[in-house]
Amino acid sequence: MNDSKTCFFQGTAVLFILTFFLSCQTKTKKTEIGSDSDVEIIQTQPVDHLLNTTESNTENPQEINSEKSEMKSSGKKIFIDEIGYFEATNDPYVFVGFKKGYNWKAIDTLKQYADSVIYEADIDSRIRYPMEKAREFLDLDLLDGITIFNTDNESQGVSHIKRIEFYTHTMGEEFICILETPNPLEGADFYGINGTDQFIGSLKSHTINDTNLKDSLRNSIKIKTRTEWGLEIKKIEPFNTSYAYYSFTDESEAKRSYLFEVNKDQITTMAEINQDYCIFGLTPVSLQFNGKPVFILFVGVPDSDVQWKTPAIYNGTKYEITNKRIIDLSQYKSDSNSFACDLTTLADVNDQIKNLNRIDIDKFLKTFSEDYINNVEYSEWSHELLFEVLYEYPEETIGLLNDSVYKHTVIYDQLKEPMDEIIDSKSIIERIKSLNIRNEPANTIINTLQNYHAKI
């Protein structure tokens, strides 16, 4: 027997009824399958009263690779979710929800199409589900092409759909998608991202055990607590900023959670949850949006088995707990135009050029707008400051430019005319190269500056 991790969505105490909305963890046991000749074929005669179809299962009981063009989604949607892992066979997986129009009531009918045993042990089993039926009934959007990371934010490569299974375990039953990776996974816990390749390559985090800071966080909300459920602070690089959550039950027995940003001595409340669930854990992922890190939060109902993981994304004002793993980024766009051509922001950057943080640089980059040509004072000043900021903070600036919220074309156009009398642009190239960052912003900046020098 081998322990394995399983992840499925649930929303009420009837754990498997809403398994395809929120994500929960538990431990189950598996046995390892033998050779292909040991696969047991299950004869089924499905009668589909709920879906009004009599199509029979004709596929062979073998692994079927996905057709990638049918699985990937276009547009501004991204996938963020925990990746489960069967340790016995090094099989990563994610749960699979239903297409629109189908729900948990159809599960008894749909599962009858499963045709061959993959694993079986005690009350746990995994049965292969035909890809033809999976495409018909199940939502496979953004499941092919997931980049998998471990919790040290080390990429494990891009995965592809290997097969679909119907998984029965101690906590319920669900459809899962087995993922195929280029190499065996390295690490203990994993998450996956799809819909973008603009990752933060240097993301690191560590827990801070600062009693005084924890007291300051408690005091900042000015609410008397009855029971504390958790308080954790994490320093996140390259943001050079700390984030914390604080969960408790107050004197009226209401459950509350707060998400804080701690920058120097300033504490800012970034999210407040007044629901039946609380935050129990916070993990930054290799993405940023609106200039701030994206998180996977571990949440749940205190003193119960109802627990799941959900992304939290910054909308320009506060963090929103999405409670869904496929996110439409257009719903979370901040109004970056609020900083467009803002001379006050330029003055602040100029005054603090040797002491800027990531928030300051984010605001500065958001001042760049197509309207700059109509504002001579802004145009000249921002042009000069861009080279100073790039020189002083190359890693932070390039990291932020991975985000889609900025006017990249406007910013890169400014680099076509270096201010060598103020900052030697060749030294900027050297600094960026020394960081060994290989992404689109770094390559574009280096190429733009090198093209300039090739012409003179």
Rounded average pLDDT over 257-278? 92
The CA–CA distances, whole Å, from 89 to 34, 84, 339 equal 11, 12, 52
Residue partners of 273: CB distance under 8 A and separation at least 6: 256, 257, 258, 279, 299, 321
Classify residue 69: in a domain, yes or no.
Answer: yes
Q: Are residues 349 and 208 in the same domain?
A: no
Full DSSP string of 184-234 = ---SS-EEEEES-----TT-EEEE---HHHHHHHHHHH---EEEEEEEEEE
Q: Are residues 342 and 376 in the same domain?
A: yes
Phi then psi for 226, rounded to 5 degrees?
Answer: -100, -45
Q: Are residues 381 and 444 in the same domain?
A: yes
Burial string for 34-64 (b: 16+ CB within 10 Å, else e) reads eeeeebeeeeeebeeeeeeeeeebeeebeeb
Classify residue 331: in a domain, yes or no.
Answer: no
Q: Are residues 85 and 135 in the same domain?
A: yes
Residue 1 has pLDDT above 70, yes or no: no
Classify residue 199: in a domain, yes or no.
Answer: no
Q: Are residues 282 and 342 in the same domain?
A: no
Domain final position from 326, 345, 374:
326
Position 105 scores a pLDDT of: 77
Q: Are residues 21 and 134 in the same domain?
A: yes
Residue where the block lists tokens 């770094």:
442
Classify residue 410: in a domain, yes or no.
Answer: yes
Check if the beta carbon of residue 197 is closer than 8 Å to that of residue 439: no
Query: Six-digit token pair at 400?
Result: 């932020």
Check if the beta carbon of residue 3 is closer than 8 Å to that of residue 288: no
Over residues 97-126, the pLDDT tens digits come to: 998 877 777 788 888 898 999 988 888 899
Give the pLDDT band of residue 257 (cuts 50, 70, 90): very high
Classify residue 37: in a domain, yes or no.
Answer: yes
Q: Are residues 271 and 180 in the same domain?
A: no
Classify residue 359: in a domain, yes or no.
Answer: yes
Phi then psi for 234, rounded to 5 degrees?
Answer: -125, 130
Over residues 18-70, the pLDDT tens digits come to: 333 333 333 333 333 323 333 333 333 332 323 333 233 333 333 333 333 23
Q: Are residues 186 and 272 in the same domain?
A: no
Residue 386, judged by CB atoms within 10 A of its CB (0-12, 13-18, 19+), counts as buried
Residue 280 CA to residue 25 CA, distance in Å, equals: 13
Classify residue 104: in a domain, yes or no.
Answer: yes
Angle CA 331–439–332, to nearest 5: 10
Given 3-state DSSP classes, what are the helix, strand and coil percentages for the chain, each rounded to the nearest 5? 25, 35, 40
* pLDDT: which is higher, 368 or 238: 368
Domain final position from 171, 194, 217:
194
Check if the beta carbon of residue 317 is closer than 8 Å to that of residue 350: no
Over residues 155-193, the pLDDT tens digits come to: 999 999 999 999 998 888 899 999 999 998 887 899 999
Q: Are residues 314 and 257 in the same domain?
A: yes
Domain final position from 147, 164, 194:
194
Q: Are residues 210 and 322 in the same domain?
A: yes
Strand order in the sheet with 292-300: 278-289, 292-300, 307-314, 319-321
> Total structural domains in the chain?
3
Q: Are residues 36 and 177 in the same domain?
A: yes
Q: Are residues 301 and 352 in the same domain?
A: no
Classify residue 88: in a domain, yes or no.
Answer: yes
By percentage, how much of the chain surpasses pLDDT 90? 48
The residue range of the domain holding 341 is 336-455
Over residues 281-332, the pLDDT tens digits come to: 999 999 888 778 999 999 999 999 899 999 999 988 899 999 999 998 878 7
